[in-house]
Amino acid sequence: MSPLALAIWIMDDGAKVSSGLKISSKNFTKNEVENLAILLRNKYGFKVSIISAGSINQYNLYISKNSMKLLAKIVKPYLHPSMYYKLNGYI
């Protein structure tokens, strides 16, 4: 997953939550969401959790406050300025 792809995903399905970021992945299976979390941990070093989306068998990714500065640095060049708010003040 390139920084551009991650930025597009955040602009489309990202939402600020608490001090971190939630990325909607409700249409993926739990195994696919787990693989995405592993990819984000291994490629970028993000602290990523899998959280319930509020329905049975639906999950979202949550990027922790501890990873928000790094995330902002990686995706800012690709984000439209109107989407900076999704990064919860870390830009």
What's the CA gap between 57 and 76, in Å, rounded?
32
Domain ranges of the chain: 3-87
For helices 68-75 and 3-13, angle between their N-to-C axes, nearest 10 degrees? 110
What's the CA gap between 16 and 29, in Å, rounded?
23
Is residue 62 scored above 90 in pLDDT?
yes
Read off the pTM: 0.91
Query: Sheet harboring 48-52: ordered strands across?
Result: 14-17, 20-24, 59-63, 48-52
CATH number for domain 3-87, candidates 3.40.720.10, 3.90.1170.40, 3.30.360.10, 3.10.28.10: 3.10.28.10
Closest listed residue to residue 11, CA positions, set 27, 23, 29: 23
- Could you read off the pLDDT of 32-59 as tens digits, one per residue? 999 999 999 999 999 999 998 888 989 9
pLDDT at position 81: 95
Confidence label for 88 from pLDDT (cuts 50, 70 and 90): confident
